[in-house]
């Protein structure tokens, strides 16, 4: 893309340009119908999940299934069960901690390397950058990664859910591009003239100018930790308190009646989870994402452009 092409300005005027002819009625209708159907295919299932999580047992019986669109009788029983202590509460707390700790560590690694490799002409920055970029081209494979975690003695520890995925090279490169292209070099040079060290420049000049993109990258990391499932299956199958996604999967399997499904010990004594309880867990895994999302969504495009096109 040429530099002229990079204008992160998605919004046009809410008005059709003078030269643009009005589309036909049929064209408009088809377009509107398509967009509405598409949005409904996303919104309706989510709504049904939320509605079911608040439905009482009786309302569910009446609806005759495991999902309903309008709860005839509202109950917060499922949420009281999740938050009332016990295995589900522990799992949620664990996931919150993993997400917070993991994101913090990831941001430290990413910011440090992105800035450290962004200064032109610094010692060895090019070969070091190549080391980072090579990770785009090749994957070490699942088994060797597993062996390394095993050798380090991290199997069945929570560290194995953070350390192996603490750095995402793509995020690093996006942030580095931002530091190089969107933070004026004059500001950094001026700070240097004033005798500021690199750490001071990073914290006082560069980071305050990069809040939006830092928020997006932190969101990506946080979502990655929050949604972690595969790593837990691979690295920590023996732990008693599992990340929430694993618990959700077990609950789902336990009522699907699937042969060989691992129901888990967490509710051996209890009955199979009710539909409302399952859906309440689903809601709990969605809510943090939905809360964070509007604040950060407006910066997505900018981050993506910085990463993919501008570079």
- Binders of another protein among 189-218, rule CB under 8 A? 197-199, 202
- Contact status: 58 vs another protein (CB under 8 A): no
| In the complex, least distance from residue 58 CB atom to another protein, rounded to whole angstroms | 17
Cβ closest to another protein, residue 5 vs residue 26? 5
> What is the DSSP secondary structure assignment for residue 71, as one 8-state letter?
-
Cβ closest to another protein, residue 85 vs residue 141? 141
> What is the DSSP secondary structure assignment for residue 156, as one 8-state letter?
T
d(CA 160, CA 42): 33
| In the complex, least distance from residue 146 CB atom to another protein, rounded to whole angstroms | 6
Of the residues 50, 57, 62, 66, which one makes contact with another protein according to CB under 8 A: 66
d(CA 237, CA 253): 16
Contact present, 254 and 272 (Cβ < 8 Å): yes
CA distances from 105 to 56, 101, 112, 155, 218 (A): 41, 6, 11, 20, 10
- Binders of another protein among 81-100, rule CB under 8 A? none
- Contact status: 299 vs another protein (CB under 8 A): no
Of the residues 45, 86, 184, 208, which one makes contact with another protein according to CB under 8 A: 45
- Binders of another protein among 224-263, rule CB under 8 A? 226-230, 233-234, 245-246, 248-249, 252-253, 256, 258-261
- Binders of another protein among 146-175, rule CB under 8 A? 146-148, 152, 163-167, 169-170, 172-174
- Contact status: 127 vs another protein (CB under 8 A): no
First-to-last CA distance in the chain?
9
Six-digit token string for 51: 């509605």
Contact present, 235 and 154 (Cβ < 8 Å): yes
């Amino acid at each position: 893309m040429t530099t002229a092409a990079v204008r992160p300005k998605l919004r046009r005027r809410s008005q059709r340009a003078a030269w643009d002819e009005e589309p036909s009625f049929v064209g408009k209708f088809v377009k509107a119908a398509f967009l509405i159907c598409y949005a409904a295919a996303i919104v309706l299932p989510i709504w049904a999940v939320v509605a079911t999580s608040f439905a009482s047992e009786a309302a569910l019986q009446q609806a005759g299934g495991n999902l309903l669109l309008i709860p005839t009788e509202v109950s917060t029983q499922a949420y009281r069960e999740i938050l009332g202590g016990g295995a589900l509460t522990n799992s949620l707390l664990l996931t919150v901690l993993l997400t917070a700790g993991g994101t913090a560590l990831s941001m430290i690694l990413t910011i440090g390397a992105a800035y450290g490799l962004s200064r032109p002409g610094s010692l060895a920055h090019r070969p070091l950058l190549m080391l980072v970029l090579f990770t785009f081209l090749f994957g070490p494979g699942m088994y060797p990664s597993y062996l390394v975690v095993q050798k380090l003695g991290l199997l069945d520890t929570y560290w194995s859910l953070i350390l192996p995925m603490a750095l995402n090279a793509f995020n690093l490169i996006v942030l580095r591009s931002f530091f190089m292209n969107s933070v004026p070099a004059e500001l950094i040079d001026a700070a240097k003239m004033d005798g500021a060290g690199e750490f001071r420049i990073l914290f006082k000049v560069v980071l305050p100018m990069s809040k939006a993109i830092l928020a997006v990258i932190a969101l990506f990391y946080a979502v990655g930790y929050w949604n972690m499932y595969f790593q837990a299956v691979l690295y920590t199958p023996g732990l008693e308190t599992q990340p929430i996604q694993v618990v959700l999967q077990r609950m789902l399997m336990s009522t699907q009646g699937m042969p060989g499904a691992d129901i888990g010990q967490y509710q051996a004594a209890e009955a199979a989870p009710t539909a409302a309880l399952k859906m309440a867990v689903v809601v709990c895994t969605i809510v943090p994402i939905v809360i964070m999302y509007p604040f950060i969504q407006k910066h997505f495009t900018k981050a993506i452009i910085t990463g993919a096109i501008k570079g």
